[in-house]
Chains A and B, each alone.
Chain A
Amino acid sequence: MGRAFGFVSPAMLLIGAFLVFPAIWTIYIGLTNYRLTGIEAVSPSMVGLSNYTKALNDALFHNALWLTLLFVLGSAIIGQNILGFTLAWVMRRTRPAVRRTVEAFVLLAWILPSTVVAYLWVAFFDRDGGTLNNILGTPGTAWLIDYPMACLVFFNTWRGTAFSMMLYSSALQAVPPSQLESARMVGASGWQTLRDVVFPHIRGHVLTNTLLISLWTANDFSPFLLTKGGPNHESETVPVYIYNVALQGGELGYSSAISFLLLIANLLVSLIYLRLLRRRS
């Protein structure tokens, strides 16, 4: 037990110093009107919960929450999950050469630095020479302007599918082949096999995966690199909004409060997932 403590403590020390402590401080800042510059920078005052009441009446925050929900739902819960699972399922029995090639591209999308990735996608969606317009033969369509959220969902599905794919690959390996074959022997269709055999087995994995990618997506800042939240707040998800409030507006107090609200929202979502997970057993 004592040795276990020794093993955990370096990690906990770092986490405590660089995660828990700043997080608590941030929550505290959320109760003040602290700003980076101006008079409030010298002498911030406690404003109690007024940042929170402000957030509740802030149409832009509501907008950001709604967009974040769409973003998570579209790109994580649906996009990455389904594409990741499909890839894992389909790649299970393809030739290794094919599987390695496909996986390499999927993983490349995941490991490339986000700054680089942002340029890739700006080029992809570009209005004039963009790849998408070249492929579809629709020169002049400003995808990032006309369909910003759809673009972001598309982008983030591309970016994050690798994680789901890997997780589901290892999950599927844990499904005993004999069970799949039993289903085949009685003539079950592909869909019946998925529903009756595969899914009940990997339920825990589905939930872990969904939980992790939902959290990561909800806190993802890369939309900023593509659209900067625009046009006209149409793709301003909560992290982007927090950034804009903090840096453009300089209102660190308010942005801390919103960060905390995002944390609460994440917590709620996690609790729902965990509840679902527990019901499994």
Chain B
Amino acid sequence: MTAGFVVRRIGFYVLICAITLFFAVPMLWIASAPFDKNPGLGVHWPDWTLENVRKTLEHPYAMHSMVNSLLICVTTAVAVTAFAALASYALSRVRIPGRDALLYGLLLLSSVVTGTAAMVPIFVMMFQLGLIDSRFGVALVMTGGLLPAAIFILKDFVDAVPKSYEESARVFGASTGQILRDVVLPVARPGLATIMVWAFVNSWGNFLVPFLLIRSIEKQPGAVLMQTLTDEGGSVNLQVLPVFSLLFSIPVVVLYLLVNSRYGFRFHGGIKS
């Protein structure tokens, strides 16, 4: 081993450590504040207590809001994945003129609709459809917003499934549906898993849509509840909030870990022209 080699190795690990710290340090708060007697908006060595956890568990809506979040986000993630899979398969295999332009156009539009102003038409439409105060309605709206990017990303995965797989199934007489179910989807599974996590994470944090469309507190998801953890003057409730933040993060992390260990979390990229 030459000296240069050793220096490069050390430099390399210093770089890795620095990057890891950059990503890890901001997370200290959520590791310390929930268990601190005097939680603040800073990070210090906690004065350990489980009192905050108890308070959070006793909160009238906290736990239930997580269930709502799960309901909404599982629906959204499943719907996004299912519809995006169907659409991206069709778009990947059939040459529709202007297909790429369409995808880009939708991707762009999806950015306008996240704005506050677009809430007016969405609200009015949901109102007319009688989907106000419905968790299902909320999931629908979120699904519509996430689909373009999901199709965009998923198409790359489907493009990567060898055509010979499908043709082989076709020669055996499999219908398109069978081919999709038995061959394409299972092979593109890492992509589907990735999209599912992505959709779940995105809907998990969405506040505005459920807030505006849901009427009963009992149906509100955690993202909305988190906004209410303040006192009448608008100061945050530091007893409950850190613990709730922690709890609220757990499903996302668990889902990610599950998917990562089973399918590997990975992306394809690049537009094949």
Query: Interface of A with B (CB < 8 Å)?
Result: 1, 3-5, 7-8, 10-12, 14-15, 17-23, 25-26, 29-30, 34, 83, 86-87, 90, 94, 98, 101-102, 105-116, 119-124, 126, 128-131, 134-135, 158, 161, 163, 166-171, 174, 202, 204-205, 207-209, 212, 215-216, 218-219, 221, 239, 242-243, 246-247, 252, 255-256, 259-260, 262-263, 266-267, 270, 274, 277-278, 281
Contact = CB atoms under 8 A, between A and B. Distances in A.
Contacts of B141: 18
Given A7-B86, A111-B201, 16 more contacts: A7-B87, A8-B86, A19-B144, A87-B19, A98-B16, A121-B26, A124-B43, A129-B42, A131-B25, A204-B271, A205-B269, A205-B270, A242-B116, A247-B116, A262-B112, A267-B108
Interface of B: 12, 15-16, 19-20, 22-30, 33, 40-44, 79, 83-84, 86-87, 89-91, 93-94, 96, 104, 106-118, 120-122, 125, 140-141, 143-145, 147-149, 151-152, 176, 180, 197, 201, 204-205, 207, 223, 226-227, 241-242, 245, 248-249, 252-253, 256, 265-273
A8 B241 contact: no
A90 B209 CA distance: 40
Contact of B43 (A114, A134, A209, A239): A134
A124 B44 CA distance: 11
Nearest to B30: A120
A102 B20 contact: yes
Contacts of B112: 23, 26, 259-260, 262-263
Interface of A is mostly: helix
Contacts of B23: 102, 105-106, 108-109, 158, 161
Contacts of A274: 104
B253 A108 contact: yes
Contacts of B27: 105, 108-109, 112, 120
B114 to A, nearest CB: 6
